[in-house]
Structure 1
Amino acid sequence: MVNYTIIADPKVKDDLKVARDFLNSRRKGFGKKFLSEYRITLKHLQKNPDFQIRYNDIHCLPMKSFKYMIHFRIDEPNKSILIYAVLSNYLNPDRYWIK
């Protein structure tokens, strides 16, 4: 089994910070739990990136405990995963999803 290399767009760092800050504002420590779950989800993604295609050729992987999805594209020839966004399921997709 091949592990894929994960490459995140620089904007993903901002997505994670916004999510962490929002979740911490709701309940202390939730932001830390979110980031921990994100890292665990990436480990699963490296081993098996074949998740549902939601639009164009962008795959989406929902996080287990938080209402967020990782939006990514698979570069099969290079065995890499290009992460474009980590977005809340509550956001308006017409405004935030990649087109």
Structure 2
Amino acid sequence: MAINDFKLQILSRAKLEVEEASQYYESKSKGLGKVFYLEFKSYSKTLKNIPFFEEKYNIVRILPLKKFPYTIHFTVDENEKLVSIQAVTSNYQDPNTTRIKL
């Protein structure tokens, strides 16, 4: 079931996490950071059309990336037709030691 026309909001924390991951992958191999960023953008577009992926933490839903070990954490406001990306985290991060980004 495709539901179109959701607005997409990316919180500053998530933007910073995407930037950090892109820089990390770019430092490992030239062009890999761009590949990561493009995959994130592609999945973000998917969320605008089909935002109802697995609900993981109360109202927070998740969407894992396919090529990279990262997961997009987001909420959906059906009344406002808004998808809000809260965080983009590495599947290898310990949530107890990950620093909070503003």
TM-score using structure 1 length: 0.89
SS at match of 1:17: helix
Hey, what does 1:6 align to over in structure 2? 8
RMSD: 1.8
Query: 1:64 aligned to 63, 66, 69, which one?
Result: 66
- Structure with the higher helix share, 1 or 2: 1
User: What is the percent sequence identity of the aligned residues?
Assistant: 35
> How far does the alpha carbon of each residue in 1:3-49 deviate from its partner, in whole angstroms, 9 at most, with x for none?
21001111222111110111112221110001111111111111111
Amino acid paired to 1:9 = L
**TM superposition outliers: structure 1 runs of 4+ over 2 Å:** 93-96
1:84 aligns with 2:86: yes
Structure 2 spans left out of the alignment, 5+ residues: none
Query: 1:51 aligned to 42, 50, 53, which one?
Result: 53
Deviation at 1:2, TM superposition (A): 2.2
Structure 1 spans left out of the alignment, 5+ residues: none
TM-score using structure 2 length: 0.87
